[in-house]
Structure 1
């Protein structure tokens, strides 16, 4: 296989020491930035707890923690392959392994496939319903990067891709997906729209130059208000479901901490600075962590 030619801005072209393949692969899947999979993990585990009415058991906990990390990592590989020609024009992404030529497209796709197959292997230890739900989850994950070329709100597609862990959690526990899971799914889409719009606000100037479509560009001057509305919609929908299952002061406390964080996010993004918006995005997983804690403490570890 002919090696990729490093771009002029890559570390290899500048004569910097070559990095090991393991280091490059870990960078490709954002291993040093766990916030990306934590925003996926907490709502998925929250749904798992609600479906089980308490602790779901070590097997399902391991399956969904491992599956979340693996699928998010596979998604990073697919995203970076799809965006490699765009990423070179964005300050924040110009040195990603594929864009800089240090990892080939073939290597990235192979790694993504291996990670996705490992996640499927975990799903196969549960039941048929979970496996069936995993098929559209993978398809939407593959589709998402390409929607940034033609869909004005690609973050909504990302929300769908990220939200599949919720019906899969219910399917793993109950063997079916009730209406509650749908409301939680919609709430998760709202959550992703909130924090990924914050992320898109960081790159708005670069995205406008290269013709990328994002929610931050589509929403324009209403971006901050929309982010707040999305966060509140997430909290309201999840509260409506969770309160039926775990009405307790702990639940109220969890939502109170989450609301305080939403207010902090407003203070970070209202001036629309790159720094403030990036901090808001990188800390957004604490909002869903507070919600998860409220659910766990409200339901406890019993079934």
Structure 2
């Protein structure tokens, strides 16, 4: 089994050229507002690629002379560094094309709509396809202002606020619910409803890992979240509480939020407040593991994957995975 890759630049296969001169190749898969990124460093001084160029990366192995690869995504050239002393060329590319309209700031009001529909508007405005989980259309948005912010900042923050993961991969805007209750080291068994089955799940044994560490922090555990919003029409205060118990986290929202919208925000906030008490990282052989999915460590527990860094150097392919619960 030999580690390998495939790299397509503007529909042209440049794998062999890069492979013949390769020093290192990396692919960073992340959750949140940061874009996925790939980079490679090669021996020699090469002509700088155009910033309009796109790269399509696949990683994997040659097994019994058969090529077994998985696609990492399509990336836009963002940076090129030529080191004239060390005689090397480094190219970086991101899944989000930051020179496109996705970074242009807009001011727009959305009213009587839902999270899924807003994601569709953002995708259409930036010539992106959209893969939106059906539950996003059930998240009602009474009124929200995109206040002089870029589309990517706006949709990422709105998704996070309601407990969703948003990402742009392969020129596609992806929106899916986190919707998972991680309970320390305890494997989810009876709470199947708390696990978003649309998210990928991966299993590893301790023996699969070259390094593995988990840190548990002593931090405040909130039993409930109480959220309030002022109704300007009736001059009353709308109050919603999610969860039970005495340790209540209280937040205020902008005016005229519906009860359904407030419940969605409070549920997502309570989940986020109680995550991160357990954090870990591991190093293992290169394979298809995706940020945003679930990681089940045998005899330890189930965790949310926050980032995956793929590194290929010569014939060595490894992963650095970070996760939390």
Q: TM-score range by the shorter chain?
A: under 0.3
Larger radius of gyration: 2
Q: TM-score, normalised by structure 2?
A: 0.21
Higher helix share: 1
Higher strand share: 2
